């Protein structure tokens, strides 16, 4: 495709030296080899004589002493210049000048397989009748650890806040997440950066450490994250929460540990994490004291012993090999497993990892669910879907694909005011969410932000309720893949969902399905009777190999 005519040139006349003093500057005409600019010798004025001659080299913008010139594509660079878009060219320039790879915050940029190519199938004549959202009840509660601990998590709604650490987030943002959890009956998570003291009482609905008066009902839960860096870890830390989450990986940087740049390690962060002020806090990529599956089982047993078997033990996985990874967590004794897909967010990560490593969330769920079914513990060991979920519609689709709950991370930040500028790692968040600078943190009111988070959760809960009931179900636990259809071949191939119009899974999935079972893993007779069979008493190894 020709490059000619693919670019628009704009000159800021208020900044241009020639516009202010004709004849003063002619740099753009001197450096451009393509005849785009011309100097009127009589008046000394510069003008653009041939827009179509511009090839997008941007030499004029680079040399302009007043930074007055902008060269913008007239059409998508993915049509006219791919793969050498401006972003790709500037990345090479940056590496050539600095010798360093790029870092950034937030999550994957650009299109990836996602929930938008999945549609919900409503109930009608040939299925259970739809239920009346305005007159009938819908059970959205999720219980984690009912069979293994004395104080299981009883989430009022099928949502959690994804793990986001203090340091990556400001203290005010962490407090807002705790308040939002207290107002909705869901769980917030410390992340791997240690415990902000106020989280412990705010998450339960109390305004101060004395806990004499409950200010926010119904009260939520606090999940303590146990990670490779062991930042701020102690017996008191582990016992401060209502659950312990063992972090194995995360969606934005699977196979790597956490990154917190020294510019964000203030005195407050230093005290909580136990690292020197101004030093980078880089978590190891793995547990050096866990080398085998048996070691992992011992780690879970250790955490249960330290917490006196009071609270459930969760695992958090990145998007690697979902079937085998989930199976390993089941065998280690997990009460719940979070799996964070490709689009999961982060405070800081190498750009190439965030962009090019991992499996999309919709592709992680089917093998994860299959592992739970093969071990006979689906709906007993809970599955929490993370990674790019934006609203109740995404949540419903994840639940229908077999998850028991979903987590919001990036969406939670956006609910507090974030505009997704992908610069979390720099510590200059203008909304005070990912900054440690006092003047920026002062812009975030934890009470107001906590209410926004609660409003977001309540809206998503209503969306899930609407979709569950129009699908003919009384509870989210009754959802199945029969409530969904894939809208294209790629989505059907990634998920095993029935393809709309074809009304069956693609042949490759039919060949992999266990004998006598269909789509969502229930036999036809089970589906007709509405029975899901008895819940297994013990976790058993699968009788046959399944999806990898």
Specify if 108 maps to a domain.
no
Angle, alpha carbons 334-379-315 (nearest 5°): 25
How much is the pLDDT for 351? Answer: 92
Identify whether residues 92 and 133 lie together within a single domain.
no
Specify if 541 maps to a domain.
no
Cβ count near 533 (within 10 Å): 10
Tell me phi and psi for residue 365, to 5 degrees. -65, -45
How much is the pLDDT for 535? Answer: 38
What phi-psi label fits residue 501: left (phi over 0), alpha (psi between -120 and 50 degrees) or beta?
A: left
Domain stops at, among 478, 497, 520? 478
Asked if the bond preceding 488 is cis, omega within 30° of 0, the reply is no
Could you tell me which residues come within 8 angstroms of residue 291 by beta carbon, excluding any fewer than 6 positions away?
none
Could you tell me which residues come within 8 angstroms of residue 17 by beta carbon, excluding any fewer than 6 positions away?
24, 25, 65, 66, 68
**Structural tokens at position 473:** 């179900």
Q: How far is CA 56 from CA 73, 75, 281, in A?
A: 8, 12, 41
Identify whether residues 447 and 512 lie together within a single domain.
no
Identify whether residues 130 and 72 lie together within a single domain.
no
Cβ count near 128 (within 10 Å): 13
Rounded CA-CA distance 415/9 in Å is 37
Asked if the bond preceding 83 is cis, omega within 30° of 0, the reply is yes
How much is the pLDDT for 79? Answer: 82
Q: How far is CA 241 from CA 148, 189, 245, 289, 474, in A?
A: 16, 9, 10, 23, 31
Domain stops at, among 53, 71, 100? 100
Specify if 105 maps to a domain.
no
Could you tell me which residues come within 8 angstroms of residue 293 by beta carbon, excluding any fewer than 6 positions away?
328, 331, 332
How much is the pLDDT for 76? Answer: 86
Specify if 539 maps to a domain.
no
Identify whether residues 31 and 175 lie together within a single domain.
no
Identify whether residues 461 and 516 lie together within a single domain.
no
How much is the pLDDT for 547? Answer: 42
The number of distinct structural domains making up the chain is 3
Cβ distance 434 to 105 under 8 Å?
Answer: yes
Rounded CA-CA distance 174/196 in Å is 8
Identify whether residues 79 and 204 lie together within a single domain.
no
DSSP conformational letter for 134 = T
Specify if 518 maps to a domain.
yes
CATH of the domain at 29: 3.30.70.20
Q: Where are the alpha helices (DSSP H) in 427-478?
A: 438-441, 446-470
Specify if 540 maps to a domain.
no
Identify whether residues 228 and 252 lie together within a single domain.
yes
Task: Determine the structural domain holding residue 502 and report its residue range.
Answer: 486-529
**21-53 burial, b for 16+ CB within 10 Å, e for fewer?**
ebeebbbbbeebeeebbbbeeeeeebebeeeeb
Identify whether residues 353 and 227 lie together within a single domain.
yes
Could you tell me which residues come within 8 angstroms of residue 48 by beta carbon, excluding any fewer than 6 positions away?
9, 11, 36, 37, 38
Identify whether residues 463 and 504 lie together within a single domain.
no
Identify whether residues 244 and 309 lie together within a single domain.
yes
How much is the pLDDT for 180? Answer: 98
Identify whether residues 497 and 472 lie together within a single domain.
no
User: Which residues of the chain carry a pLDDT beneath 70?
Assistant: 1-4, 512-548
Specify if 393 maps to a domain.
yes
Identify whether residues 51 and 192 lie together within a single domain.
no
Rounded CA-CA distance 475/484 in Å is 16
How much is the pLDDT for 514? Answer: 52
Domain stops at, among 100, 125, 144? 100
**Structural tokens at position 114:** 């996602």
Which residues, listed in sequence order, are joined to residue 542 by a DSSP beta bridge? none
Specify if 545 maps to a domain.
no
């Amino acid at each position: 495709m020709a490059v000619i005519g693919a670019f628009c040139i704009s000159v800021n006349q208020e900044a241009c030296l020639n516009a202010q003093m004709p004849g003063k500057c002619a740099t753009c005409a001197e450096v451009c080899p393509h005849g785009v600019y011309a100097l009127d010798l009589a008046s000394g004025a510069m003008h653009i004589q041939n827009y179509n001659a511009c090839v997008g080299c941007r030499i004029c913008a680079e040399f302009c002493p007043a930074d007055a010139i902008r060269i913008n594509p007239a059409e998508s660079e993915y049509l006219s210049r791919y793969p050498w878009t401006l972003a790709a060219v500037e990345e090479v320039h940056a590496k050539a000048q600095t010798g360093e790879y790029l870092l950034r915050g937030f999550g994957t940029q650009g299109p990836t397989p996602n929930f938008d190519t999945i549609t919900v199938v409503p109930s009608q004549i040939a299925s259970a009748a739809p239920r009346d959202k305005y007159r009938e009840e819908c059970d959205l509660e999720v219980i984690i650890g009912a069979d293994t601990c004395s104080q299981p998590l009883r989430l009022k709604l099928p949502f959690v806040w994804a793990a986001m650490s203090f340091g990556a987030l400001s203290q005010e943002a962490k407090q807002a997440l705790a308040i939002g959890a207290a107002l909705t009956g869901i769980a917030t998570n410390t992340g791997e950066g240690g415990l902000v003291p106020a989280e412990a009482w705010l998450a339960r609905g109390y305004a101060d450490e004395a806990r004499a008066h409950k200010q926010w009902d119904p009260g939520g839960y606090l999940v303590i994250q146990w990670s490779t860096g062991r930042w701020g870890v102690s017996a008191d830390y582990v016992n401060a929460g209502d659950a312990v989450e063992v972090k194995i990986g995360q969606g934005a940087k699977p196979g790597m540990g956490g990154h917190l740049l020294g510019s964000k390690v203030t005195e407050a962060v230093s005290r909580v994490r136990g690292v020197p002020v101004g030093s980078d806090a880089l978590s190891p990529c793995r547990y050096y004291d866990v080398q085998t599956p048996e070691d992992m089982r011992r780690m879970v047993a250790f955490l249960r012993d330290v917490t006196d078997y009071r609270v459930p033990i969760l695992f958090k996985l990145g998007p690697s090999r979902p079937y085998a990874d989930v199976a390993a967590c089941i065998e280690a004794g997990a009460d719940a497993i979070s799996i964070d897909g490709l689009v999961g967010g982060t405070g800081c990560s190498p750009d190439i990892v965030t962009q090019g490593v991992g499996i999309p969330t919709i592709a992680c769920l089917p093998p994860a669910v299959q592992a739970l079914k093969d071990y006979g513990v689906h709906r007993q060991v809970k599955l929490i879907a993370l990674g790019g979920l934006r609203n109740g519609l995404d949540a419903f689709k994840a639940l229908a694909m077999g998850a028991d709950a979903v987590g919001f991370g990036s969406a939670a930040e956006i609910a507090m005011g974030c505009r997704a500028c992908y610069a979390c790692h720099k510590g200059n968040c203008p909304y005070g969410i990912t900054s440690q600078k006092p003047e920026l943190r002062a812009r975030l009111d934890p009470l107001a932000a906590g209410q926004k988070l609660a409003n977001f959760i309540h809206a998503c809960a209503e969306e899930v309720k609407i979709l569950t009931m129009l699908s003919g179900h009384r509870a989210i636990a009754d959802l199945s893949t029969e409530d969904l259809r894939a809208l294209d071949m790629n989505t059907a191939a990634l998920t095993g969902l029935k393809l709309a119009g074809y009304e069956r899974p693609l042949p490759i999935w039919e060949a992999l399905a266990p004998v006598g079972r269909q789509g969502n893993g229930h036999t036809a007779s089970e589906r007709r009777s509405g029975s899901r069979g008895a819940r297994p008493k013990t976790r058993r190894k699968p009788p046959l190999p399944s999806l990898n």
